[in-house]
Structure 1
């Protein structure tokens, strides 16, 4: 099932992925009434074909999918660098499964029949996170290739002199690059930098890369 978008200019996008047409229809009705754009799908492949990266969006995902279960979908999206926030729905959830999902970055893990207020609260939290990711991506795009290299090494725990030796430059030059990248990303500490790298996926890229 891939119905046309329920379009509202400027509205936030919510993708729905559930193999139950009745559930999709109910979720779409609720979210549309709250002013969201909604795109419903019953298969992972249909969702991936339609998903547009770079647009702040949230995914409401059923755990029990026929082709890939929800946890596998989450893992695949992470491997592919698609960092869309996910709200899980399940008809038979368990505490270990919900803990696993949340640890992997899910916004929430809700049990069907889902409470409307809980779902809307989770979707709004997901869209807020998506907006933060989009703003971070814009800031990351301002970094030079050398600044991205330095950032990878800093996040990996390297000292300035170690980074300088690895990149074949002076320690003072590394300090300048660090100061500039922190300014461009509007960050104050290494801890903030590590979190930014995790959000952007930079921490998964090889150190040798630019």
Structure 2
């Protein structure tokens, strides 16, 4: 399925303008004034999904929207935009709420297009990794996460209270199910493991 972009702003004219901008660059984009409409258009497939949301949304805010999006689209990339930029908000957006970028209004179109392109690529990679992880058992996911953190098989055995052979068997199963061989493969898959964004 093709990539898609959802633009959320209580100024619907602005949201539609940005959607048209994406459309002119060959990207599928939809505009929303209310984030409540998003779950009705959630998608399947392996295409990337990028959410571009204003921080101030009437009674809602973009940070809360980002949290709710993770419930039904954990592989979506999120970009925040605002007319009232604050450094603290920018740091919060990126670190705590899983944002890809933080854009100030009026929007720099070149930066927006570049950030959305990066976000869609990130989303596609995370979607594929999540599909691979679905094939793993709960214990294999634990081992995957520890390998991604740089721990050796011996260290993992100590952490999980397993024999070294059992850990190696789990790693062999992970390789067979996901194709992961190098540490960078484990790190890439590890990024798609379920996380609590509030703890970041």
User: What range is the shorter-chain TM-score in?
Assistant: 0.7 to 0.9
Taking structure 1 as reference, are residues 162 and 96 closer, same or farther at Cα in structure 2, changes over 3 Å only?
closer
Higher RCO, Cα 8 Å, sep 6+: 2
Q: Which residue of 1 aligns with 2:160?
A: 163
After superposing the two structures, state which structure 1 stretch, 39-48 or 150-159, moved more.
150-159
What are the superposed Cα offsets for residues 16-48 of structure 1, whole Å, 9 maximum, x if unpaired?
111101101211110111111111111121112
Single out whichever of 147-156 and 59-68 deviates more from structure 2: 147-156
Q: Which residue number corresponds to residue 17 of structure 1?
A: 8
Aligned counterparts of 1:80 and 1:26: Cα–Cα separation in 2: 26
Unaligned 5+ residue runs, structure 2? none
2:144 paired residue among 142, 151, 176 = 151
What is the TM-score with the length of structure 2 in the denominator? 0.80
Q: 1:60 aligns with which of 40, 52, 71?
A: 52
Offset of 1:76 from its aligned partner? 2.9
Partner residue of 1:95?
A: 87
CA distance in 2, matches of 1:185, 1:200: 16
Using the size of structure 1 for normalisation, the TM-score is 0.77
Residue in 2 that maps onto 1:4: none
Q: Do 1:17 and 1:44's aligned partners in 2 also have CA atoms closer than 8 Å?
A: yes
Runs of 4+ in 1 over 4 A off after TM superposition: 152-158
Partner of 1:40: 31
Seen in structure 2, the aligned counterparts of structure 1 residues 19 and 185 have a Cα distance that, compared at 3 Å, is: farther
- CA contact 2:2–2:48 (8 Å) conserved in 1: no
The counterpart of 1:138, out of the listed 131, 134, 138, is: 131
Match of 2:182 in 1: 188
Per the alignment, in what secondary structure is the counterpart of residue 93 of structure 1? coil
Q: Which runs of 5+ in 1 are unaligned?
A: 1-9, 205-210
